[in-house]
Amino acid sequence: MVLLVLIVALACLAAGVGFCLAGAGSPNVTFSGVQLHGAPRVLGAAFGLFIAAVAVVFALAVAALAVAGAFLAVIFALLLTGLILLAVALPFLLPLIIPLVLILAVVLAARHSSRSRAA
């Protein structure tokens, strides 16, 4: 899908460069069997630059989406790795976590009882 989009963007860029060169050439320019001279030559060159600019913006948008997708994939992989490591390490950390939870409960209970006495 991304490759197809990039091919289309490159084709648009090539068409834009072709129109631009057709408009910037000598007075007797034939592009796809059409004789370009006068104002249409200038408009052809401007149209070519416009097509080239659209192709570049389109390619940048596709590249930005690809980078964003890769970033999301990396974040998901890191999150999954962290969850696996947590699942492996949690049983070994329980002897440390249980006393800390008990101490936190005592501190919170003492703080609550000291506030009720002060009021």
Where along the chain do its domains lie?
2-91
Q: Is 26 helix (H, G, I), strand (E, B) or coil?
A: coil
Alpha-carbon span 60 to 74, nearest angstrom:
21
Place of tokens 């006068």: 38
Q: How crowded is residue 41: how many other Cβ atoms within 10 Å of its Cβ?
A: 19
Q: What is the DSSP letter of 27?
A: S
According to the model, what pLDDT value does residue 119 have?
56
Q: What is the pLDDT of residues 56-112, one digit of tens each?
A: 888 888 889 889 999 999 999 999 999 999 999 988 988 999 999 999 999 999 887
Q: Is 103 helix (H, G, I), strand (E, B) or coil?
A: helix
According to the model, what pLDDT value does residue 29 have?
61
Alpha-carbon span 37 to 82, nearest angstrom:
66
According to the model, what pLDDT value does residue 68 have?
93
Question: In what helix (H) or strand (E) does residue 1 lie, and over which residues does it extend?
Answer: none
According to the model, what pLDDT value does residue 60 have?
86
Q: How crowded is residue 106: how many other Cβ atoms within 10 Å of its Cβ?
A: 10
Alpha-carbon span 21 to 48, nearest angstrom:
8
According to the model, what pLDDT value does residue 20 have?
63
According to the model, what pLDDT value does residue 58 have?
85
Q: What is the pLDDT of residues 9-50, one digit of tens each?
A: 777 677 766 766 665 555 566 667 777 665 566 666 777 778
According to the model, what pLDDT value does residue 101 have?
93
Alpha-carbon span 66 to 5, nearest angstrom:
12
H-helix segments, 1-119:
2-24, 39-118
Position 2 confidence tier, pLDDT thresholds 50, 70, 90: low
